[in-house]
Chain A
Amino acid sequence: MQFASVRTKIIEEFRKRLYVIGIIIICMFAIFFLQLINLQIFQGREFSEKSRMNMENNIPLPASRGEIYDRNFSTDKQNIVLATNRPAFNIIVIPAQYKEKNQFYYAIKNICALLQLPYEEILTDLKSTNPYNRYIIQEDVPFDIVVTIATNQDKFPNIMWEDAPVRVYPFNNMFSHVIGYIGSLTKEEYNTYKDVGYKYYQKIGKAGIERQYDSILRGVDGYVRRIVDAKNRTEGEEIGQHPKSGYNIVLTLDYDVQKTAYTALGDNRGSVIVMKPATGEIISIVSKPDYDPNLIISKNNIKIITELNNDKNKPFLNRAIQSRYPPASTFKLVTSIAALEEEKWDPAITRYCPGKYTLKGYVDRDFYCYQAHGSVNLLWAIARSCSVYFYQLGLKLGPTTIFNYAGYLGLAETSGIDIPGEITGFIPSKKWKLKTFGQPWFDGDTVNLSIGQGFILVTPIGMMDFLSAIVNSGVVFKPHCIKEIRSIDNTSVVSVVIPEKLREIPLSPTTLNTIKQGMRMAVVNGTAARLGYLKVQMCGKTGTAQTRSKRQEDVSQHAWFVGFGPYDSHPEKVVAIVVMVEYGIAGAATAVPIAEQVFTTLIKKGYF
């Protein structure tokens, strides 16, 4: 009996424990049921999408990027194309398509050997990207390589190719800064632009017009919907969406003028801007040193890009809008305007120039003029660029007035030109000097300021704006490089750029006439006399900026020329020019001949 009860107890215990296991089984099944509901019902749509992404290896059909023409574009003749496309191929891979790592390594190793690429580097790069994304192994691959890959699929499993037209810039360096170039999206760019439809494998304008008008030029990519299995064998194909081409752009730039300016600048570092002040149309904009955009658009040319980036001469810098210099004697125009507008100075007042000016003070200090001009009035002082006259004029005005006028005339503001990356000039102030140098503003600083030396800095495009104000009676239009947007077949005009007023400076006609007269005299019988023979009546002002290093006096000078023509006609006809040459010998010697050549071409092309 004792035995039997123990036995019953054991069986009872067994049954109790069996129930525990039964409860565990029920719990597990409940969990599975819930997870099934979760995966198949709640997340069903999401997983369907993922499953579709797995099997749909959509092949993008690249939209053809719009072409860029110069201002002489017309529909009934052969046009000058500044940027176009040529057919080529990309070799691509999607790492997630490989079932086995070894197969992936095998394919990458073979393709690297075929394309002569560094295997290790490609592998490291691949591992850092999303494995479900298309990875471009090499761009711009010739057709015979594609044939090799297509005929040896066993050696190159899951290696694919696609049409990928390559951007071509037929005039290489000539338009490099203004047109810019395109390139693959960087990770930062992708994160910024993915919401506006950019795909990680696409190209984006990196500089210049290509960047500014990327959304107009790029079009919309289409795609082929391709059903593939895990081994990337095709099961079916259909066009998902046809690509939509980008628009063509006609620039305001004139190829011939650009070519002249580009050639005239030669091997100098510097920039030339030619613009119509009446509308803000840029006819030419050149910066040197430059680069060949054709060489750097491809991912294959990282070496060349690195070299260019490390170049001490900074070829990527668009000196026309991204560099600032002391305006030197060209600033005398600002000082003059300030004096005339404030009515503190009669233009007829003469001052005697013995070749230097002595500023009286605790210690007397001499300020020199490049030659002894004798007795000059304001007009002659502008024409001959007499510094001694302006020293005294500046002292009379005081620094604050000059700062204010430089500000009114927009020298420290951006022009809003449609090339990205513009910087502003710099106008100092008394406060700024105290803060930066711990010294008050001295009269000596005012003397320097009045002839555009010292702390003040301007950009060439800023000078162009200032020049526009003189030509246009104070009205400044936003400089712009594009004239119109056309459909891809060029048959219709999609949009025409309407000049936009940037600012209107109230300047009295008398002041402007005096300034223009002074600038005209500089051409007739002054520093820019070399331009006197031109058919167009030119006005101008030279400048020779001394940079800080006084040791190399011959080379450490920047040459300026700002000018326009014709002198006495309606502003509609006027074309203005700013020439800036770094370390040019002197404004008259270096910058003026460049302006001369540009205007010769302008005359030839019938601008006046």
Chain B
Amino acid sequence: MFKTIRSSFQEYDIKLLISIIALILIGIITIYATGFDPIEKVNSGLYKKQLLWFILGIICMFAISRVHYRILGDYSLYIYLVVLFFLILTTIFGAKIRNTRAWINFGFFAIQPSEFMKLATILLLSKYLELRQFDIKRLRELFIPFAIVGVPVLLIYMQPDFGTAMIFIPIFFALLFLGGADILQLISILGVATIALFVPMMLTYIEWSGINISGGFFSFLKGNELLYIISGSLLAVSIISFILYFFFNSKVYRAIYIPSFIISAGLFLSVIIQKFLKEYQKRRILVFLNPDLDPYGSGYNVIQSKIAIGSGGIIGKGFLKGSQSQLGFLPEKSTDFIFSVISEEWGFIGAVIVLLLFGYVLYKGFMIALKTQDKFGMLLAGGITCMIFFHVIINIGMALGIMPVTGLPLTFLSYGGSNLIMSLLSIGILISIDSRTR
């Protein structure tokens, strides 16, 4: 019995485990600090809950690491559908907390299905991409992956939880990329998306920053007619050149129909997005570009976060001494801006330690993906690593003022049970892949 446990422990990468537990403990200490009210001298006690989630999460991690990851692959569709079912339930009936229906209440605790959806989507996508690995270069093979990701993204967007919905997109593209999709196709899709997003942003910016555009080109753009006209004429150009390419098979025509189709589709989508994205969401992205646009609103968060990080200096202000977080100038300090708190209280040294720990976790994930021999394992390990990576860069990037404020937790550190358990489950899967590769 003991021997089994010991031998099974030997299968684990102890350094990886230590890094993760260190990150979680740093998180819990920081949550303790942020829960402390320096004036009333009481603690909100959030850290105790997080401690509970941590223990639960570690148990889940060990449990799932004992399961062969290929079994998870076999059941990936069912896992996906079950989580999707809960996600639908949540989106429709979920408890409304801060205007978002992201939580489903089970009496004594509440879970956030959208967190688990991330993992379920990675599982199913990896499985699908493994199945279709020889055909994936065809454009039509991408429709099903789009559907796998599109449905949950739409549901989460409807909750509405913009940040969580957004995180699916880079994970999706990373998986397609790793899964062997044609790079030209991926670039085309990204091109369309960029144009589709850029045009409404620009229009919002022009409108918001009060540049006078009465009459002329921009108001014409605003009315969408011009967008339709350009989009339509480019579509025509692209169809004609495609037909010419079909008959003469000359690369010149290919060089015309691909970009013109990308721009055409992008512009067409931009009209839809302009109606689809809410004004505050468009503005939020703009405020990221220039926080001074809105020093009261979403810009406030970034400004205060940068003040917190910057004022930490090299060695930090010390535990419980961060004035930005302790005195409440920093918003969402136990979740979205937990990195700012760490940077304020522990300074450059603390921030670099956190970055190094994350770096190590990502490096391990990377190595596991590299060493794995089967396609599903590679994609799963790669997908999980990318998921953690994107959480880290978006969250820390937001705190540092180089990414938009989207409201995304920092894996392992931020307060929140669902995210912590989901992250530990992911690590459990990584361990499962690792132990079966050796």
Q: Which residues of A contact B (CB under 8 A)?
A: 6, 10-11, 13-15, 17-18, 20-22, 25, 28-29, 31-33, 35-37, 39-41, 43-48, 50-52, 54-55, 95-96, 98-99, 101, 104, 131, 227-231, 233, 235
Please list the 6 inter-chain residue pairs (A to B) with the smallest Cβ-Cβ separation, ordered nearest first.
Answer: A47-B310, A230-B328, A229-B327, A51-B311, A39-B310, A44-B313
B313 / chain A contacts, CB cutoff of 8 Å? 40-41, 44-45, 48
When C-beta atoms are compared, the residue in chain B nearest to A33 turns out to be B355
Tell whether, in the assembled complex, residue A47 and residue B375 are in contact, meaning their CB atoms are under 8 Å apart. no
Tell whether, in the assembled complex, residue A54 and residue B180 are in contact, meaning their CB atoms are under 8 Å apart. no
| Smallest CB separation, B71 vs chain A (Å) | 22
Taking a contact as CB atoms closer than 8 A, the residue among B311, B314, B326, B355 that contacts A50 in the complex is B311
Give B334-352 as 1s and 0s: 1 = Cβ < 8 Å from A's Cβ atoms.
Answer: 0000000001000110011
Task: Assess whether B190 is interfacial by the CB under 8 Å rule.
Answer: no
Tell whether, in the assembled complex, residue B180 and residue A13 are in contact, meaning their CB atoms are under 8 Å apart. yes
Measured CA separation A29–B352 after assembly (Å)? 10
Measured CA separation A366–B133 after assembly (Å)? 118
Measured CA separation A44–B317 after assembly (Å)? 12
Tell whether, in the assembled complex, residue A54 and residue B310 are in contact, meaning their CB atoms are under 8 Å apart. no
Task: Assess whether B177 is interfacial by the CB under 8 Å rule.
Answer: yes
B51 / chain A contacts, CB cutoff of 8 Å? none
Measured CA separation A202–B347 after assembly (Å)? 38
A230 / chain B contacts, CB cutoff of 8 Å? 327-329
Task: Assess whether B259 is interfacial by the CB under 8 Å rule.
Answer: no
B331 / chain A contacts, CB cutoff of 8 Å? 99
| Smallest CB separation, B249 vs chain A (Å) | 26
A54 / chain B contacts, CB cutoff of 8 Å? 304, 307, 323-324, 327, 329
Tell whether, in the assembled complex, residue B369 and residue A44 are in contact, meaning their CB atoms are under 8 Å apart. no
A48 / chain B contacts, CB cutoff of 8 Å? 310-311, 313
Give B365-387 as 1s and 0s: 1 = Cβ < 8 Å from A's Cβ atoms.
Answer: 01001100101001100100110
Tell whether, in the assembled complex, residue A28 and residue B393 are in contact, meaning their CB atoms are under 8 Å apart. yes
| Smallest CB separation, A15 vs chain B (Å) | 6
| Smallest CB separation, A10 vs chain B (Å) | 6
Q: Which residues of B contact A (CB under 8 A)?
A: 38-39, 133-134, 174, 177-178, 180, 295-297, 304, 306-314, 323-324, 326-329, 331, 343, 347-348, 351-352, 355, 358-359, 362, 366, 369-370, 373, 375, 378-379, 382, 385-386, 389, 393, 396-397, 400-402
Please judge, given known A-B contacts A14-B180, A22-B366, A54-B324, whether A96 and B295 are in contact too, CB under 8 Å: yes
Measured CA separation A130–B343 after assembly (Å)? 28
Measured CA separation A299–B38 after assembly (Å)? 38
| Smallest CB separation, A205 vs chain B (Å) | 33
Tell whether, in the assembled complex, residue A17 and residue B307 are in contact, meaning their CB atoms are under 8 Å apart. no
18 A-B interface contacts by CB (under 8 A): A10-B133, A14-B180, A14-B375, A18-B370, A31-B402, A36-B400, A39-B306, A39-B310, A40-B348, A40-B351, A44-B310, A50-B310, A51-B307, A51-B310, A52-B311, A96-B295, A227-B327, A229-B327
Please judge, given known A-B contacts A18-B178, A21-B174, whether A50 and B396 are in contact too, CB under 8 Å: no
Taking a contact as CB atoms closer than 8 A, the residue among B134, B297, B369 that contacts A18 in the complex is B369
Measured CA separation A300–B130 after assembly (Å)? 76
When C-beta atoms are compared, the residue in chain B nearest to A54 turns out to be B329
Tell whether, in the assembled complex, residue A40 and residue B328 are in contact, meaning their CB atoms are under 8 Å apart. no
Measured CA separation A98–B295 after assembly (Å)? 11
When C-beta atoms are compared, the residue in chain A nearest to B311 turns out to be A51
Please judge, given known A-B contacts A18-B369, A47-B311, A99-B328, whether A131 and B296 are in contact too, CB under 8 Å: yes
A28 / chain B contacts, CB cutoff of 8 Å? 389, 393, 397
8 more contacts with CB within 8 A, not counting A11-B378, A21-B174, A52-B311, are A40-B312, A44-B311, A46-B310, A50-B310, A52-B323, A54-B323, A54-B327, A99-B328
B375 / chain A contacts, CB cutoff of 8 Å? 10-11, 14
A37 / chain B contacts, CB cutoff of 8 Å? 348
Measured CA separation A28–B359 after assembly (Å)? 11
Please judge, given known A-B contacts A14-B378, A33-B355, A47-B307, whether A231 and B312 are in contact too, CB under 8 Å: no
B309 / chain A contacts, CB cutoff of 8 Å? 36, 39-40, 47
B396 / chain A contacts, CB cutoff of 8 Å? 32
B355 / chain A contacts, CB cutoff of 8 Å? 29, 32-33, 36
Tell whether, in the assembled complex, residue B352 and residue A235 are in contact, meaning their CB atoms are under 8 Å apart. no
Measured CA separation A51–B329 after assembly (Å)? 9
A47 / chain B contacts, CB cutoff of 8 Å? 306-307, 309-311
B327 / chain A contacts, CB cutoff of 8 Å? 54-55, 227-230, 235
Tell whether, in the assembled complex, residue B389 and residue A25 are in contact, meaning their CB atoms are under 8 Å apart. yes
When C-beta atoms are compared, the residue in chain B nearest to A230 turns out to be B328
Tell whether, in the assembled complex, residue B38 and residue A229 are in contact, meaning their CB atoms are under 8 Å apart. yes
Tell whether, in the assembled complex, residue B314 and residue A21 are in contact, meaning their CB atoms are under 8 Å apart. no
A231 / chain B contacts, CB cutoff of 8 Å? 328
Tell whether, in the assembled complex, residue B348 and residue A36 are in contact, meaning their CB atoms are under 8 Å apart. yes
When C-beta atoms are compared, the residue in chain A nearest to B344 turns out to be A51
Tell whether, in the assembled complex, residue B328 and residue A229 are in contact, meaning their CB atoms are under 8 Å apart. yes
When C-beta atoms are compared, the residue in chain B nearest to A9 turns out to be B180
Measured CA separation A230–B323 after assembly (Å)? 10
B379 / chain A contacts, CB cutoff of 8 Å? 14
Measured CA separation A367–B402 after assembly (Å)? 86
* Chain B CB within 10 A, most for which of A40, A50, A98: A40
Tell whether, in the assembled complex, residue B402 and residue A17 are in contact, meaning their CB atoms are under 8 Å apart. no
Tell whether, in the assembled complex, residue B314 and residue A41 are in contact, meaning their CB atoms are under 8 Å apart. yes
Measured CA separation A51–B304 after assembly (Å)? 8
Tell whether, in the assembled complex, residue B314 and residue A40 are in contact, meaning their CB atoms are under 8 Å apart. yes
Measured CA separation A313–B385 after assembly (Å)? 81
Taking a contact as CB atoms closer than 8 A, the residue among B177, B180, B297, B343 that contacts A40 in the complex is B343
A6 / chain B contacts, CB cutoff of 8 Å? 134
B378 / chain A contacts, CB cutoff of 8 Å? 11, 14, 18
